[in-house]
Structure 1
Amino acid sequence: MTGRLRIGLVGTGWVAHQHVAGSRHVAADDVEIVAAADPRGDVLDDFATRYDIPHRFRDATTMITSGTVDAIALLTPPAVRAEVLEPAFAQGIHVLIEKPFAQSGADAVTFTEAAEAAHVTLAVSQNFRWFPEYPWVRAQVRRPEAGDVTFLEARTFQDRPQAGGVWRAEETKLEMAIFSVHLIDRLRWIAPTEPVGVRALTRRRRGSTVRGEQWASLLVDFAGGGVGVVTSSWTSRRLPTNTFRVDTTHGSVAVQRSAPMAGTATGVADFDGETPQEVVFSETRSGEHSALSYGSSMREFARAIAEGRDPAHSARDNLQTMGLMEAAYLSAARNGSPVTIEEALHGHVALR
């Protein structure tokens, strides 16, 4: 392959707009969005016309076999996975897949192994990794001077009632699969050792008619004795909070942002023998950090393909995230009993 990677979008809902903005803002030298597929003809036409996308398809398989794309971004609800991935792998088409990667840990293992057998790149768009404050936190705590990580905590509280009548309202796996998966991925990406097991509780908003959870709290065991906590709520009526903290044997680092995907982020690092740092990750215009995160995910995907290497957010890397999320759902179903990552992945060992 020479030149820019030709991308086709499978699905033209809300997140597709984010991928177009991000790709054109950050990854324009690496990718070109040339096609879109959606069974809703009017939505597809409006989307493709708005963004001047030349090729339009009513189904993903036709796009995959058309010869117009080198890779696809799979942006559909999580139930739509195998019927798109199988023809893509058969055609040697690379895939960037939106989270959640799969509906279960077992499916995530199946998709990962199928992509590897087909010698195609499969990556998971965990775009929150590229919000600027989180690489900064990771760099701070991975320094030898920081010591050993002992505790990590991700906390997000927001008022996000889930309306009925849309696909999410019918999902039995809701808040963790849609939102907390970002926090879970961030936790294990920043932690220097692998997660071993998890205990979790989930709840729904009182009076809600949706099927899935809207509040989740996880307690994660990491190899070497570190502990992680994830608490995320869609049921908090007031005082929204979005924070991340890491404690080590030599100090602490913490960041916060006024909203999960918007506003100004700030960070503080304080370690033994060092002058405390205070950092402001300012947002110069609305949506810039969101575009940066989606675009950086796409750029890493494209450059990994061009360079013949695994992307940082490869499917195999993301098995740990899927294992944690699956183990959390199993634990919640067992009233908070501990569940190992190995059990959640059906005995498969997730590798860094």
Structure 2
Amino acid sequence: MSDPIRVLIVGTGGMAHAHASAYQAMEGVELVGGVDRNPENLHEFNAQYGITHGFDSVIEAIQWGEFDAVSNVTPDAVHFPTTMPLLAAGKHVLCEKPLAVTYADAAQMAAAAQAAGVVNMVNLTYRNIPAIMEAQRLVASGAIGEVRHFEASYLQSWLTQPAWGKWDEEEQWLWRLSSKHGSLGVLGDVGVHILDFTTFVAGADSAAVSCRLRTFDKAPGGQIGAYVLDANDSATMQVQLTNGAIGVVHASRYASGHMNDLRLRVFGTEGGLDVRWEDNQSVLRACLGDQIGTAAWEYLEVPPVQTNYVRFIEAIRAGQSVLPDFARGATLQRALDAAVLSNGDGCRDIVLG
């Protein structure tokens, strides 16, 4: 049996547990170290997963060096400064989304990863959903003809109910509402997912974007403790793709009745697909061929897919690249940057050159 892949976890907050649990379930993978500036969080995380080495910084971990791959689960604004030295050290990196908070940083990360020749991947978790992978395959096969129109949404309601925790008291939610703490709001948090969801299935990247962002009053003076609540809560976008298709994309944290739901409907010259992730269930419907004449939709069976974590480790073992990579993350960040620019300039259309 080959030597185990030794994994370092950078950032030990809520999402880090999903990464650690996934790696622990794999044969031939060892969690060997954790990195966090909060010593209490680091100690508790390492103890929970039997990790024996803890570090205050990425630089300290690199000086130790006894790891092969990294899951970067730090806040958005920290992805760039923590990932770049890891790439320079020749480490394989799976980075949480969004890859960075600006296209310039994301493009630099993608270039550095390519130059380093390491496996690099963005953890766009909805690539783990069977329905989206099957929908992408069907569109690529020509099943719906040429894509013409789409509509997509990512709906959450954690600002209207406490099922996931109290957003106005807990740090894991408050930082997501504050640009000072590295948040691009709902646009950066889940907008990146729905843009990937849409363009991946449609088989084309964004060519032009117009966007409106809205931040709602949530506390007296717009602040809770150290957190200025200025990050956007809802986003609406009109998007044109490089294949000529147009559509609408929207996301909100105020969608009461939806804990964490994604929808995509994509229509072509020869049919349509309806992709959904709702109530933790993956569903794919199609209207194809003769069904178009009667507007009949049928549910399709979808094969299971490997998770990003498994594909990341397998790519390392095989010495091959894997998608979605940092280049994909940079492409998505370019569209997010355009959305922010559009919102600040009267919601005008921003063409991505």
TM range (shorter): 0.7 to 0.9
2:168 to 147, 151, 163: 163
Alignment deviations for residues 57-110 of structure 1 (CA, whole Å, 9 cap, x no partner): 222221122122111111111221343223212321121111111110111111
Q: CA–CA distance in 2 between the matches of 1:231 and 1:175?
A: 10
1:183 corresponds to which residue? 194
Does residue 257 in structure 1 map to residue 277 in structure 2? Answer: yes
Matching residue of 2:325: 314
- Which SS does the other structure have where 2:282 is aligned? strand
Residues 119 and 316 of structure 2 are in contact (CA less than 8 Å); yes or no, is this contact kept in structure 1? yes
One of 239, 245, 270 as aligned partner of 2:287: 270
Pair 1:256–1:50, CA change in 2 (3 A): same
Q: How many percent identity over aligned positions?
A: 25
From 326, 329, 344, the equivalent of 2:340 is: 329
SS of aligned partner of 1:20: helix
Secondary structure in structure 2 of the residue aligned to 1:102: coil
Q: Report which stretch shifted further, 99-108 or 217-226.
A: 217-226
Structure 1: state its 5+ residue gaps: 283-291, 343-352
1:182: how far off? 0.7
Report how far residue 2 of structure 1 moved.
4.6
CA offsets per residue over residues 281-323 of structure 1, 9 Å max, x none? 79xxxxxxxxx99x71122222223323221111112222111
TM-score between the two structures when normalised by the length of structure 2: 0.85
Tell me the secondary structure at the aligned position of residue 213 of structure 1. coil
Question: Do 1:163 and 1:169's aligned partners in 2 also have CA atoms closer than 8 Å?
Answer: no
In structure 2, what residue type is equivalent to 1:120?
A: V
The residue correspondences of 1:44-55 to structure 2 (distance < 5 A) are 44-55=42-53
Matched, 1:11 2:16: no
Paired AA for residue 174 in structure 1: G
Q: Tell me which residue corresponds to 1:345.
A: none
**Residues 224 and 58 (structure 1 numbering): CA distance in 2 closer, same or farther, change over 3 Å?**
closer
Kindly state the Cα deviation for residue 157 of structure 1 after the two structures are TM-superposed: 2.8
Q: Extract unaligned runs of 5+ from structure 2.
A: 160-166, 223-228
Question: 8 Å contact 1:100–1:178 — kept in the other structure?
Answer: yes
SS of equivalent residue, structure 1 residue 80: helix
2:191 alignment partner, SS class: helix
| Secondary structure class of the residue paired with 2:143 | helix
How many angstroms apart in 2 are the aligned matches of 1:223 and 1:90? Answer: 34
Normalising by the residue count of structure 1, what TM-score does the alignment of the two structures yield?
A: 0.85
**What is the rounded CA distance, in whole Å, between the counterparts of 1:174 and 1:181 in structure 2?**
11
State the Cα distance separating 1:111 from its structure 2 match.
Answer: 1.2
- Aligned CA distance change for structure 1 residues 181 and 163 (closer, same or farther; 3 Å): farther
Looking at structure 1, the residues matched to 110 and 143 of structure 2 have their Cα atoms a distance apart, in angstroms, of: 36
**Matched-pair contact (CA < 8 Å) for 1:251–1:271:** yes
**Match for residue 123 of structure 1?**
121
Measure the CA separation in 1 of the matches of 2:110 and 2:309. 19
1:246 is matched with 266
CA offsets 1:243-283 (integer angstroms, 9 cap, x no match): 22111111111133334xxx32322111013695314779x
Q: 1:59 aligns with which of 46, 57, 60?
A: 57
Equivalences, count: 327
Matched residues in 1 for 2:33 and 2:258: separation? 42
SS at match of 1:32: strand
Separation in 2 of the partners of 1:109 and 1:190? 23
Q: Which amino acid is 2:281 matched to?
A: T
Q: Distance in 1 between matches of 2:244 and 2:155?
A: 27
